[in-house]
Structure 1
Amino acid sequence: MSILDRQLKNNTLSNAYIIEGEDKNYNLVYAKDFVKKVFASKDISTNLEINPDIEIIDKDIIDIGTIRSLIKDMVIRPVNNKIKIYIIHNAQNLRVEAANAMLKSLEELKAYSLIIFTVDNIGRILPTIRSRCQLISLNTTNSQVGIDMDKLSEIFSKVYAGDLSAYYRERDFLLSFKEDKSSLIEGIIRILSDIIGNKYLRKSDFATYHYNIERLRKINLTKIERLLERIEKINRSFRNNINFELGVENIFLNIYREGRQG
């Protein structure tokens, strides 16, 4: 079950996502499929051609005028009274002023709004936008996450093994992601995903952090699911301005506790 499928099942969708993949066309296909699943979960028509509550922006240059029009539309309640979805395809094409305007709207999203950005490389979108979205990476090879996965997986494995001091030794490194929370969260989620791949699918393409994933093979699916649910809950709370330091500490305390349980 993918992250998005699990969130749909548990009714824990975020308000903003970034879908990253090298294949730009597939990014849009994936985004549309996700939108259809969201609408279907709410008993809303999945025919995107006639559904008035889906808008797709697909331009070589996404200028400030385009984003201003989108922002004006966002204040209008959805026809279905449940959810209104916007896909900004190839968000790397956002002009600087358009990206800044989009950032402001992300900070003031209505509860019924869902924004999906697609991008070929996460590094080509504003860090401040990244920090307010959940990243879904479709890259098949070690896709770009804006964090040192070797270091993060080492901290994770040591804390899970009972060395909680590893968190405090590397606290400054972890807290340096205050303005790019999505990279930290996606890095932790990727570790859990790679544990599943290594343990149950016999995957071993984790580059330099393979050794740390091997050390975490004893984590079972129940523990992984519990951790994912707690991480998603903390990630949502970040959008409600919970103290970032407390949130990160809570994540690693949960990892430590799962490691102490039989």
Structure 2
Amino acid sequence: MAGFQDVVGHEQIIDHLQRAIELNKVSHAYLFCAEEGAGKKLLAGIFAQTLQCEKGGVNPCMECHSCIQAAGKNQPDIIWVTHEKPNSIGVEDIRTQVNGDIQVKPYGSPYKIYIIDEAEKMTVQAQNALLKTIEEPPAYGILILLAESADRLLPTILSRCVTLNLKPVADEKIRKYLMEQLQVPDYKADLSLAFAQGNVGRAVKLATSENFNEIKDAALHLLQHIHEMELYEIISALKQITDYRMDINDYLDILMVWYRDVLLFKATKDMNPLIFKEHINYIRQQADKSSYEGIETILEQLDKTKARLKANVNFELAMELLLLTIKEN
């Protein structure tokens, strides 16, 4: 596992956590808020490892027995809460893994730390069960919640947590990391940055993905020809998109960046800031044919599609509606 010094960006949050350790003012409950890939899991893991480090500094030493165990995710006093149901964390998950377990003192560490990933998936009953522990934790108990959004967490939970919102990381920092640490070519780094939007994990995933270029080419082919497609051809394209179901967010982000390029070129006639400037002829054609309202409608539909898929709406239905909206506008 990396130390704080290996994290790309998030300097303010790291400084806050290290100062809390240094001043012995560590809270009993934290909420790390950010989209997937932003680094909340990494930061939570390093924070927990540092708190349990036998040398007691503001960075994990990486050498003591506790640090080695934490790096292998088998430190007995750092508990990663799991759940069997993919879309919800139930009350029994919290009762058995947190509420019941926290009554047992740490095996040999100063703290007992519980990390609840995807905390927004906790049911209301699970959150109410957790609330009892957050309100009256033992002195050695620390709860770290990781969530993409705080919207689905109860106000009573939020009021008892120190909330740390991870902000997008500057492109130049991510670019430097991709090129120097991962040896990614500059053109691929730039393309990854365009889609990552300050998300380090996402940039790394895109830069090292074998599927990304295939997905990008398929999406661009669709975008460049959808206005002349018949309905049966759109249905055929939909079947191909189904093959990318596991990477659908990447696919949708490619569509979104394309239409942002179209919108930007329509407004400015400047190709320099475009991400897909090598496809300028197609972008120019679509900018000329589409209205501002039409492009905005497509971008709004892309956002709605992402939300629908996240809510487990029928995949084919959501994508069919999106493709028809694109064709109509």
TM-score (norm 2): 0.42
How many angstroms apart in 2 are the aligned matches of 1:244 and 1:89? 29
- The alpha-carbon deviation at position 176 of structure 1 amounts to 1.1
Q: How does 1:92-241 map to 2 (within 5 A)?
A: 118-119=200-201, 120-123=203-206, 148-161=215-228, 163-201=230-268, 202-203=270-271, 206=276, 208-217=278-287, 218-241=289-312
- Secondary structure, aligned partner of 1:241: coil
SS state at 2:158 partner: coil
Aligned residues of 2:298 and 2:325 also touching (Cα < 8 A): yes
- In the TM superposition, residue 118 of structure 1 has moved relative to its aligned partner by 3.3
Q: In the alignment, what sits opposite 2:158? A: 78
- Read off the aligned partner of 2:245 and give its amino acid letter: K
In the TM superposition, residue 149 of structure 1 has moved relative to its aligned partner by 3.1
* SS of 1:73 mapped into structure 2: strand
Q: Is the 8 A contact 1:54 1:85 kept in 2?
A: yes
Amino acid at match of 1:171: L
Post-superposition offset of 1:216 = 1.1
What is the match of residue 249 of structure 1?
320
Higher relative contact order (CA 8 A, sep 6+): 1
Instruction: Tell me the SS of whatever aligns to 2:245.
Output: coil
C-alpha change, 1:203 and 1:197, in structure 2 (3 Å) is: farther
Secondary structure of 2:200's match?
Answer: strand
The question of whether the paired residues in 2 share the 8 Å contact of 1:175 and 1:245 is answered with yes
Alpha-carbon distance change, 151 to 215 in structure 1, aligned in 2, over 3 angstroms: farther
Cα distance in 2 between the residues matched to 1:124 and 1:203: 24
TM-score using structure 1 length: 0.51
Point out the structure with the larger helix share. 2
Q: Which amino acid aligns with 1:203?
A: M
The residue type paired with residue 255 of structure 1 is: I
| Cα displacement (A) at 1:161 | 4.3
Of 243-252 and 72-81, more deviation after overlay is shown by 72-81
Change (3 A) 1:203 1:24: farther
Q: Please, which moves more after superposition, 216-225 or 197-206?
A: 197-206
Q: How far off is 1:188 after superposition?
A: 1.0
Deviation at 1:213, TM superposition (A): 1.9
1:43-58 aligned within 5 A:
54-55=31-32, 58=43
1:193 positional shift: 0.9
Distance 1:247-1:66 versus aligned 2 partners, 3 A rule: same
Unmatched tracts of structure 1, length 5 or more: 1-22, 33-49, 93-115, 128-143
Q: Percent identity?
A: 13
Amino acid at match of 1:213: I
The question of whether the paired residues in 2 share the 8 Å contact of 1:53 and 1:84 is answered with yes
Conserved 8 A contact 2:224-2:282: yes
1:125 and 1:79 mapped to 2: Cα distance? 39
Which letter does structure 2 place at the counterpart of 1:118? V
Q: CA deviation at 1:148?
A: 3.6
Q: Structure 1 residues 230, 180: CA separation in 2 closer, same or farther (over 3 Å shift)?
A: same
Deviation at 1:211, TM superposition (A): 3.3
Paired residues, number: 174
Distance 1:24 1:246, change over 3 A: same
CA contact under 8 A between 2:31 and 2:144: conserved in structure 1? no
Q: How big is the alpha-carbon RMSD for the aligned residues of Structure 1 and Structure 2?
A: 4.4
